[in-house]
Amino acid sequence: MFEAERAAVAAASRRLAAEGLVAGTAGNLSARCAEGLYAVTPTGALLATLEAEQVCVVDIAARVVHGGLQPTSEVELHLGIYQRYQAGAVVHTHAPMSTTLACSVDEVPCVHYQMLSLGGAIRVAPYHTFGTPELAQAVLDALDGRTAALMGNHGAVSYGKDLDAAVEATLLLEWACGVYWRARLTGTPRILSDEQQQAVILAAIERRYGAVRAVDGTEAE
């Protein structure tokens, strides 16, 4: 059951490991399979070598309906994001730069216009023990109006319409955290004002920023 979704979760796990954003068993991913069902990485699995048959399928109550392994301890966080934000996929990592800032700042301000793809400044959810309802609620609140957030003294979480989008959000978040960290080392980072951010949004809409287009202006397939 759900072979394609389980294979996609496993492939995304291996990609994030190859990118250096997850190490060992630290991190978890999930993807929507069907209404009320989700493919989730198992607890304790090595993400760099994860295979489709190791990925389990759970319902909205976190009950395993397919697969022989228990889901990640952060399954409640994943399910909360699906319920509250209608996500298509969720990624949680302990990526180096994201985790570094999650241990030292209360927010990553919007210092580069590409951060607007994530919703702007990145909030840091207060620390709570992993796998607890308190952590899930704190992260859900930090994600309001965003597609990524940091988890205090813990890591990062991103979501998207599908696994590709969630992985790209994770990569962008790690890059943005690295930019801000380096900017702080070299001086006082300049933060984009609300007016500057709005101008970027309007320009992106007008120019269909991010879409591949043919020379005649039509979007390429």
What CATH number is attached to the domain comprising 93? 3.40.225.10
Q: What is the pLDDT of residues 164-203, one digit of tens each?
A: 999 999 999 999 999 999 999 999 999 999 999 999 989 9
115 and 198 share a domain?
Answer: no
3 is catalytic: no
149 and 74 share a domain?
Answer: yes
The whole-number average pLDDT for the span 46-54 is: 96
DSSP letter at 121 equals S
How large is the C-alpha radius of gyration of the chain? Answer: 18
Sign of CA dihedral 158, 159, 165, 166: positive
The domain total for the chain is 2
16 and 101 share a domain?
Answer: yes
211 and 107 share a domain?
Answer: no
72 and 173 share a domain?
Answer: yes
Q: What does the pLDDT read at residue 133?
A: 95
**% of the chain with per-residue pLDDT over 70:** 94
The whole-number average pLDDT for the span 27-39 is: 95
213 and 131 share a domain?
Answer: no
Q: Which domain holds residue 12?
A: 3-188
pLDDT band of residue 218 (cuts 50, 70, 90) is low
The model carries a pTM of 0.92
58 and 38 share a domain?
Answer: yes
Identified catalytic residue from 74, 76, 107, 219: 74
